[in-house]
Amino acid sequence: MYLVVGLGNPGIDYEKTRHNIGFVFIDQLAEKLKISVTKPLFKSLTGKTTLAGNGVVLAKPQTYMNLSGNSVSALMNWFKLPLEGLIVVHDDIDLPPGKIRIKSGGGHGGQKGIESIISQMGTNEFVRLKIGVGRPQVLDFQVSDWVLGRFTEDENVFIKEGLELALDAVVMIITKGTEAAKNSYN
């Protein structure tokens, strides 16, 4: 079984912001898998299905980003999943808009949701799928202002392409394994 978590912040004020790319991803994956992600469970909205014989739970934590680990840890314990069953999808300012990167383990890179998950789980050994949201082209900027901003029309073209790649990459992780997906998409 796999738990695919998209990171974001709840509430209308945060919809379609760079930081909520994980939520957008989960919504699109749910549409592709023809399920809804509406069942409340451990401060997340969840949906459950199967993919190539594997159970798959999609989740959007309804805590704020910096508390995502509370929900993820509870879901992992509830479903009794091994670490290899966790896939976390999130924004990354160090990747250009729409570029994706699959990573296993490592640090949080300043991403508060990943930092929270590592803290709550007591390990960094889980799969992350990063979707690039880029950096502003000015030197003096606040990361929080950037990630809580919305994509420009030009960026949206790249984000749409990146989301399509990310959807295919997660399906490959589940059906063929993380290493196969890394070899194909990194």
User: In the structure, what pLDDT confidence band is assigned to residue 147 with cuts at 50, 70 and 90?
Assistant: confident
For residue 168, how many C-alpha atoms fall within 13 Å in the half-sphere facing its CB? 11
Spatial CB neighbours of 73, under 8 Å, sequence gap ≥ 6 = 117, 120, 121
Range of the domain at 55: 2-185
Question: How do residues 68-115 score in pLDDT, each as one tens digit?
Answer: 999 999 999 999 999 999 999 999 999 999 999 999 988 888 789 999
Q: What's the average model confidence in pLDDT over 59-64?
A: 96
Q: What's the average model confidence in pLDDT over 117-136?
A: 94
Question: How do residues 13-26 score in pLDDT, each as one tens digit?
Answer: 998 899 899 999 99
As beta bridge partners, residue 17 has 150
Question: How do residues 37-55 score in pLDDT, each as one tens digit?
Answer: 999 999 999 999 999 899 9
Whether 141 shows a pLDDT value over 80: the answer reads no
User: In the structure, what pLDDT confidence band is assigned to residue 145 with cuts at 50, 70 and 90?
Assistant: confident
Q: At what angle do helices 68-79 and 112-121 cross, to 10 degrees?
A: 40
- Domain with residue 131: its CATH number is 3.40.50.1470
Q: For residues 10 and 23, give the distance between their C-alpha atoms in angstroms, rounded to a whole number.
A: 9
Q: Which residues are catalytic?
A: 19
The total domain count for the chain is 1
Q: What is the pLDDT of residue 2?
A: 97
